[in-house]
Structure 1
Amino acid sequence: MSDTDAHRILVPVGDSDTLRDTVSYAVERASAAAPNRPVEFHFVVAAETQSVDPDAPEELGSAREQLERVALWVEEDADSADGATDAADGPPDRFTVVTDVVGTDRYLFSPGDYADALLEYAAETGIDRIVVDPEYNPAGTASMLRSMSVELARGDVPVETAPDDRPAQGAVLARAASLSKYLSVFVVSYLFYMSLSAWKPLDFLTGFVTASIVSVVLAPVVANRSAPLGLTLRRLARLAVYAPYLVKEIAVANLQVAYVVLHPDMPIDPEVVQFRAAVWGDGAVTTLANSITLTPGTLTVNVSERSFDIHSLTADSREDLFDGGLERAVRFVFYGRASARIPTPRERDDAGEGRDG
């Protein structure tokens, strides 16, 4: 049979407790849906950082290892599915495995971005069916957002979610992990509240109530995965360098705004501008948005994927924004010194990439 007769199944791959079961389900579905046709499994990782990130090679190496592990699982399951008697013979000849990493050439921010990258791959390779891991959640996107199955259903390829057959103990452990996250948010919020209070008896009560509300509202959207300890420590060290820089920028901006306010002609020129920031991930995007807001003269009005809507008070504040000082500093905190090579918003604007609208 020619390759054009193959039944092609795409399985997005990510870190999850149900990935192994999803691979088994995909093999079973292939055996049932195409019993007499060659089957081509496409296991694809959507990159969670971009090629401009100096940590990307390490991540891509980890993705390759994961894909190799998945390919071995297919061999195990394919032997059983087609009745092979000797595992050393490898999978049946009609089963082939293709692995790839997509999204390294762009910024993948929202579930829609990941779905677009996967759907483009599906269109290019002639995928017949997409099987989604029930816990597939690229980049730790918040659970309140639409599931990847719904996002992928925008395409023309049938999409199905593999069943979650884990025992009840798995659900208990998941709830325990969730409880730990709620407790962590509560403790941090409570300590922060008390650090700003006068430590009066009423403050302990209002702090408890406030921290409880914060944990209920924010715990579900706290990052679902943690960075490695070494990376976290490096970021904290770079954050200690960033803090005085931000204070300096705030002081300079205060002087500029004071000059405008005290000037007899009040030379203000308010305008809302848009630019696409070269940062990715919840932490970096949030840090940049809040840093812009903390700097007098600019206010982050809205962030949609990578597009920032910024209200600027003067032309000088807009110039500073597109000069990219804050953006470069935030990239330094999260991605290291090598990320400084990324063009500034102004340079990307000249190339038609930095400004929206």
Structure 2
Amino acid sequence: MSGERLLVPVSETETLRQTVEYAVSRALEDGTGTVRFVFVHAPDAERGEVPTSELERDVDSAEELLDRAGIWAEEDAGEHEDMLTVETTQVGLNRYLFSPEDVANALDGEVLDHDLDGVILDPEYDPGIGAPLVRPLANELDTLGVPYETAPVTRQARRGPLLTRSSPLRVGSVFVLSLAFYMLLAADPFYWFEWVTGLIAATVVAVAMSRVTFSRDPTTSTIGRLLRHIVYVPYLLWEIIKANIVVSAVILHPKMPIEPRLTRVRPAVWGSLPITVLANSITLTPGTLTVRVSGDSLIVHTLVPAARDDLFDGGLERGVRYVFYGREAMAIPSPRERGDTENLQPPDDSTENTDGRKGDSQTNGNAESTGTTEANQEDDQ
């Protein structure tokens, strides 16, 4: 990889300083060079509801980190400072980056748009998408054909990726929730001994779990999501009951008319927690099973056409959007209406599109995603 114009993704790690030093040395190997530092913003399920001031603080924190990396780069250039060009940018504020594939595509776009020679990766780099990133990111860069190398730092940082800073508000919130849950399960919530043991248990849980329960201090919007979640639970139970009846009827039918299919759905929810809630809700509903989360898509196995229709109509998706984003988000069209559904496993003798109609046969049973229902309809024609 040529070392003249390099892209360096940055995040708050203990190895960032050494990564910057290595990137500068690589950029100046052949004389003048450019180092472009990029901060990739992680998806935030709360972004639509947090105050604008908090969003501004996120941007300010990113700018502070980028400025720090730029200062380090100028220091490392030393007497060759006039031969080094330092650039900074932020991506992910106006689009959703969910997976290593999305992050790799964003970095590839930066490389192409600014005519860069390659990427230098911090071995501890993680923009905060909820999973260790460097190895999967490197694989995705390989797939895209983007030259990269990992900075050879001399010391690996000791990290606790699940831990965040605690605060009195987080401790208090965990304490209240734990106590409420304990008293809900108590045999006699009016007995003084239950309150004593409940207070002790809630204190222990609050002290032990406050650093892993919340990624930020709870706000009024957090309370709103909690209340909407309470409304969502009965709805989910009702969907489970309906699905149980449908699947039971199919099993008891003399011909047992099951039609198992693998399907792909691209849900209109953003953030690791909403995706997890939706995937688990689908799995809890008989007749559907979330097999894999692939990027921002769900691979779901459906047992009967009714379960597939319910999945494509997006009832559970609307419920999850209501919990995390509020009533207004329920107006988004269903996955079927958006064209974000596909049957990956059509019958052997015909192709069944997302509207349940039969079309021409395909040679490959596991069809690749067309991305839109309209594309499937064009194939049928």
Match of 1:152 in 2: 141
1:172-224 deviations in Å (ceiling 9; x for gaps): x759969xxxxxxxxx9xx99xx9xxxxxxxxxxxxxxxxxxxxxxxxxxx99
Q: Give distance in 2, aligned partners of 1:99 and 1:119.
A: 14
**Alignment-derived partner of residue 26 in structure 1:** 23
* 1:134 and 1:164 in contact (8 A); partners too: no
2:262 corresponds to: 272
Conserved in 1, the CA contact under 8 Å of 2:118 and 2:146?
Answer: no
Q: Check if 1:42 corresponds to 2:26.
A: no
- Given the superposition, is the C-alpha separation of residues 273 and 132 from structure 1 closer, same or farther in structure 2, using an over 3 Å criterion? closer
For 1:59 and 1:121, the matched residues in 2 are separated by: 26
- Verify the 8 A CA contact 1:132 1:162 in the aligned structure 2: no
- Hey, what does 1:112 align to over in structure 2? 101
Decide whether the 8 Å contact of 1:52 with 1:342 is kept in 2.
Answer: no
Task: Please state if 1:240 is matched with 2:230.
Answer: yes
Candidates 136, 139, 164, aligned match of 2:125: 136
SS across alignment from 1:138: coil
CA distance, structure 1, for counterparts of residue 126 and residue 213 of structure 2: 9
Matched position secondary structure for 1:308: strand
Decide which of 336, 340, 343 is 1:346's aligned counterpart.
336
Residue 45 to residue 59, structure 1, CA distance change in 2 (3 Å): farther
1:185-204, aligned counterparts within 5 Å? none
Q: Sequence identity, in percent? A: 39
Q: Distance in 2 between matches of 1:53 and 1:347?
A: 25
**Deviation per residue, 1:216-269 (Å, 9 max, x gap):** xxxxxxx99935433655543332221111112112223333444556665554
Aligned to 1:115, the other structure's residue is in SS state helix
Query: Aligned partner of 2:230: which letter?
Result: A
Query: Which of the residues 61, 68, 75 maps onto 2:63?
Result: 68
Q: How many correspondences in the alignment? A: 301
Instruction: Spell out the pairing of 1:272-291 with structure 2 (5 A cutoff).
Output: 272-291=262-281
**CA displacement at 1:62 relative to structure 2:** 4.7
Look up the equivalent residue of 1:254 and give its one-letter code. Answer: N
CA distance 1:332–1:26, change in 2 (3 Å): farther
With over 3 angstroms needed to count, the CA separation of the structure-2 counterparts of 1:139 and 1:278, relative to structure 1, is farther
Instruction: For 1:312-351, list aligned pairs within 5 A.
Output: 312-349=302-339
| AA of the residue aligned to 2:269 | V
Amino acid corresponding to residue 7 of structure 1 in structure 2: E
**TM-score normalised over the length of structure 1:** 0.66
1:54 maps onto 2:56 in alignment? no
1:153·1:159 contact (CA, 8 Å) conserved in 2?
A: no
Larger mean CA deviation between 14-23 and 341-350 belongs to: 14-23
Distance 1:307 1:350 in 2: 9
The aligned amino acid for 1:69 is E
Write the letter of the residue equivalent to 1:43. Answer: F
Cα 1:325–1:92 change in 2 (3 A) is same
Alignment of 1:157-306 (within 5 A): 157-161=147-151, 163=153, 165=155, 171=158, 174=160, 226-230=215-219, 233-261=223-251, 268-306=258-296
Paired residue secondary structure (1:98):
strand
Match of residue 348 from structure 2: none
SS at match of 2:337: helix
Unaligned runs of 5+ in 2: 165-177, 186-211, 342-369, 377-381
- Alpha-carbon distance in 2 for matches of 1:224, 1:92: 47
TM superposition shift of 1:278:
2.5
For residue 16 of structure 1, report the CA deviation from its aligned partner: 2.9
Q: Is the 8 A contact 1:13 1:44 kept in 2?
A: yes
2:89 to 96, 99, 112: 99
Q: 1:110 offset after TM fit, Å?
A: 2.8
8 Å Cα contact 1:268/1:314 also seen in 2: yes
CA contact (8 A) 2:104 2:140 kept: yes
SS of 1:146's equivalent in the other structure is helix
Match of 2:128, SS state, is helix
Structure that is richer in helix per residue: 1
TM-score, normalised by the number of residues in structure 2: 0.62
Alignment correspondent of 2:5: 8
Letter in 2 for 1:308: L
Q: Distance in 1 between matches of 2:148 and 2:311?
A: 44
SS at the partner of 1:285?
A: helix
CA-to-aligned-CA distance 1:1-48 (integer Å, 9 cap, x gap): xxxxx9322111234343344334433443x425x42x4332223342
Sort the Cα spacing of 1:95 and 1:63 in 2 relative to 1 into closer, same or farther, 3 A. Answer: farther
* Aligned-residue RMSD, C-alpha: 4.4
**1:262-298 alpha-carbon deviations (Å, 9 max, x no partner):** 5666555443332222334433223222211222232
